[in-house]
Amino acid sequence: MLLKSVLIGFLSFSILHADMLKECKNEADRISGCVEREYHDNGKFWVDTPYKNGKIEGIEKWYYENGNISAEIPFKNDEREGMTKWYYRNGNLESETPYKNGKIEGIIKEYYENGNLKAETPFNNNGVNGDMKLYTEDKKLLALIKAENHKFISGKCFNDKVLTDKELKEMRRDGSIERAIIYLKEICLKSDSK
């Protein structure tokens, strides 16, 4: 029981201490540990960047003008490390991007504003590699795209319609998941209604 109380006390202190870091005023503060703050025009926090030993260390937080969290970006030794999260203004998760040693490594997940999964994109070796899954806003699998070395090599709609090289190239043209989904809806849903 005593051990449990000590552990709870330590965790509470650690959490409070992280929120109580002093604001950075100079390089000495960045070495000892501080938070560099940037503000919106309305005076509310915009970005909180934690420093330790002169490097960004901890979770950088971005905020909307209304005070809601916009992003949480973990850093270790000045490099992104861990799961970066971006949020919609309504507070729902917009995306999760895993970082390792400053590079994207793992499955990037993007979400619709209603909270449903929009896309899962495997990313490693500085590119999209593996099976990318795209979903409709009502949670249905729209298409599966195979990628190698950041290039789409094949794809298939939920109804087994095989995507042509031309369709894959067009889908990839602007790089936006949002536009890819709109384009795929036209192709996949049109072929499904025949």
Cα 63 from Cα 36, distance rounded (Å): 14
DSSP codes of every residue in 62-113: EE-TTS-EEEEEEEETTEE-EEEEEE-TTS-EEEEEEEETTEE-EEEEEE-T
What pairs with residue 35 in β-bridges? 23, 50
Q: What is the pLDDT of residue 70?
A: 98
Q: Where does residue 190 rank: exposed (0-12), middle (13-18), buried (19+ CB within 10 A)? A: exposed
Q: Mean pLDDT across the stretch 6-22?
A: 49
9 pLDDT higher than 60: no
- Within 10 Å of residue 155's Cβ, how many Cβ atoms? 25
pLDDT at residue 6, as a whole number: 42
Contact between residue 137 and residue 114 where contact means Cβ atoms under 8 Å apart: yes
Secondary structure (DSSP) of 170-181:
HHHSS--HHHHH
**Tens digits of residue pLDDT in 88-130:** 999 999 999 999 999 999 999 999 999 999 999 999 987 899 9
Q: Which H or E run contains 183? A: helix 177-184
- Give the pLDDT band (50/70/90) at residue 1: low
Given a cut of 90, whether residue 192 has pLDDT beyond it is no
pLDDT confidence of 18, banded at 50, 70, 90? Answer: very low
Which range among 1-15, 57-71, 177-191 shows the weakest confidence by mean pLDDT? 1-15
- Distances, alpha carbon 22 to alpha carbons 19, 26, 40, in Å: 9, 11, 19
Q: What is the mean pLDDT of residues 173-193?
A: 82
Which residues share a beta bridge with 47?
38, 62
Q: Residue 172: its pLDDT value, please? A: 81
Architecture of domain 65-189: Single Sheet (2.20)
Residue ranges covered by each domain of the chain:
65-189
pTM over 0.75, yes/no: yes
